[in-house]
Chains A and B, each alone.
Chain A
Amino acid sequence: MEMTGAEITIRCLQEEGVEYLFGYPGGAVLHIYDALFQQDKVKHILVRHEQAAVHAADGYARSSDKVGVALVTSGPGLTNAVTGIATAYMDSIPMVVISGQVPTFAIGEDAFQEVDAVGITRPCVKHNFLVKDVKDIASTIKKAFYLAKSGRPGPVLVDIPKDVSAHKTEFTYPASVNIRSYHPQGRGDSQQIRQAAQLLLEAKRPMVYAGGGVVLSGASEQLTDLVRLLGFPCTNTLMGLGGFPANDNQFVGMLGMHGTYEANMAMQHCDVLVAIGARFDDRVIGNVEHFAQVPRKIIHIDIDPSSIAKRVKVDVPIVGELKLVLNELLDVLRASRQKPDVEEMANWWRRIEEWRVTGGGLRYKNSSEIIKPQFVIETLHKLTGGDAFVTSDVGQHQMWAAQYYKFNHPRRWINSGGLGTMGFGLPAAMGVQLKHPGELVACVTGEGSIQMNIQELSTCKQYHLPIKVLSLNNGYLGMVRQWQEFFHGNRFSESYMDALPDFVKVAEAYGHIGIRIDKPCDVEPAIIEALSRKNDLVFMDFRTDPTENVFPMVPGGKGLSEVVLSEDL
């Protein structure tokens, strides 16, 4: 039977097992929306802004191991989606975005709502396609899902002109994909893996540095086995949190700009470093030259060869899928029946414990007068037993959430690390909540960030999403204020927002519950109250200390050991 391109598009999504399609209609996608209307397998979630559609698809993907899917119209629909696409790209999130395009005959004529979608998104997608013939829709969508999910994941855009979605052809969904130019690596090189095992066994001051790749590949179990087998310290990047259980003694906390003192010192002074699905970001190792002052051997395991040796020299590169590589590495280590030198390990751990003391760990001076933001996160952690899904926006509140909410499981911590996109938190939480109905989803945000996608409170109402929003309202674009305090002589240029709305009323206007919390003693009762409202979205407006800063801090361009600690300690 012949089907229209629009019907084929939706059929393909059904074939891929897509539960939710996050989108916003418009002229160029009317046929697709019409096809969507006439079926009930793929559920459409109508957001209030295309950026939010993409973030919601992103949150859905991050909290599961599935591909997130979004649908937007041409022109402004697509340009609104770009921030979301770039966010997913920077954090390697599997996603398919379908965009409408003006009819093929009008392309290039500056037609109404025409933009060069493939050109605009080229630098921030894993790949993109313009489908010019209805016969190519099915095979293109099949490829898009395959590319998004395999190898190093990422967003893939499929741009479908309006006439193509109206044309008809026979539908067959390809059973498999073969792209002759694309062969992501599976197993790692066995020789290299044996060499890595040898280095690990001979290490005197080893360090395991694990990133978002562990979460993406579902290799937490393998990582945990490896770290425990060897008795090594383990740190996570911001993207890797939950990849190794935070309540394990061998966990030394997050590293990097706002990482713990012990994680950064151990990173700086180790003699053998194994990087696992982490990409030596500038917010992680700071100044590359400073990092290179201490000689150390580096083993780097990553599926993307271009992640390896991009910023630092690597001694043992291993390209491959983490799960497979770690399994093989574990086999080699177990078969060797060797263990790292007991005495050396004890010495190394003694030094790490000393750093734990000098650095003060993660401590802050609590107050009975004014709400400390860290206290809010600690309380949330206590009350949820560390089992919530926590999404966040970008800024100081993001760092406090990362530091003080201890994640023991992967895919629970959902934030924009690479692009650092304010406005990510709430829409991402929608995707998470839809994927995990009945589970607790908390969105930690700031009064600045929340206003970048606050309209999504309306979407939350429509689909009954009982997200708990914790807004750490310090009245400032706090992260900017902090940098201005440290590096720009306290000149708080445009980091203070006057005329903030009454967030309680805003929440109520959207049909939700709002609570304003001014005093430290009200923090716990408010969160308990919010958590008890299982079916409601509760917006908590915490008035927090406007002068609080995030510590520790390794200033940009500095070395990991040139860290600034809190004066409160």
Chain B
Amino acid sequence: MRHIISLLMENEAGALSRVAGLFSARGYNIESLTVAPTEDPTLSRMTIVTSGSDAIIEQITKQLNKLIDVVSVMDLSEGEHIERELMLIKLRAEGEAREELKRLTDIFRGRILDVSDHTYTIELTGARVKLDSFIDAIGRDLILETVRTGASGIGRGNRILSL
């Protein structure tokens, strides 16, 4: 099953490679991984999307907790949470297609950030499935480039990951 694991870790050189190294050394899946400092510059917040049986997910959270640089870990998918991913996508936009692409972008609540004679560059935010369906709706032929950040996640309401 797909899980979103959120963690706070020391904002130190090498901390990211400890997490990435753990996943490759133990053969755990990583679908995506995002990381950036928080409002407290000594801490980074990371979101890892992974998948595996319950036993594997249990090991993943235990192994993450074991890393000295990791301050706290939460499996967001165990409760109510919000997941967002940002996609920048460049499309071939020529002739009649331009109007149609703009309409699709509006339906998906995306924004056109850059326009050239032949291209649109679009920003789209949402859960993974929403971004996937946008790509499906456009069709592979028109896509020139996609950049996705991978999911960031946060718990709903009182579910707070802190020190």
Contacts and interface: CB of A to CB of B under 8 A. Distances in A.
B59 A119 contact: no
Contact of B14 (A130, A180, A305, A310): A130
Interface string A120-164: 001100110010000000000000000100000000000000000
Contacts of A181: 9-10, 68-72
B109 interface: no
B14 A309 contact: no
B62 A306 contact: yes
A179 interface: yes
Contact of B21 (A122, A147, A182): A122
B55 interface: yes
Contact of B65 (A118, A147, A179, A305): A305
A123 B59 contact: no
Given A122-B18, A147-B68, A305 B25 contact: no
B104 to A, nearest CB: 45
Q: How large is the interface on B (under 10, 10 to 19, 20 to 34, 35 or more residues)?
A: 20 to 34
A304 interface: yes
B58 interface: yes
Given A306-B62, A309-B55, A126 B68 contact: yes
B17 A123 contact: no
A310 B66 CA distance: 14
Q: Which of A127, A181, A304 has the most CB of B within 10 A?
A: A181
Interface in B30-87: 55, 58-59, 62-63, 65-66, 68-72
Contacts of A306: 59, 62-63, 65-66
B107 interface: no
B14 A118 contact: yes
A96 to B, nearest CB: 14
B68 A182 contact: yes
Interface string A150-189: 0000000000000000000000000000011110000000
Contacts of A118: 14
Interface in A85-130: 118-119, 122-123, 126-127, 130
A179 B68 contact: yes
Contacts of A119: 17
A179 B71 CA distance: 9
Interface in A162-220: 179-182
B160 interface: no
B55 to A, nearest CB: 7
A147 B72 CA distance: 18
A305 B62 CA distance: 6
Nearest to A127: B68
A447 to B, nearest CB: 34
A123 B14 contact: no
Contacts of B163: 180
Nearest to A308: B62
Contacts of B69: 181
B58 A309 contact: yes
9 contacts: A122-B14, A147-B68, A181-B10, A304-B66, A305-B62, A306-B62, A306-B66, A309-B58, A309-B59
Interface of A: 118-119, 122-123, 126-127, 130, 147, 179-182, 304-306, 309-310
The 10 closest A-B pairs by CB, nearest first: A306-B62, A181-B71, A127-B68, A305-B62, A123-B25, A306-B63, A182-B68, A122-B21, A306-B66, A181-B70
Given A126-B68, A306-B62, A309-B59, 7 more contacts: A119-B17, A122-B14, A181-B10, A181-B69, A306-B63, A306-B65, A306-B66
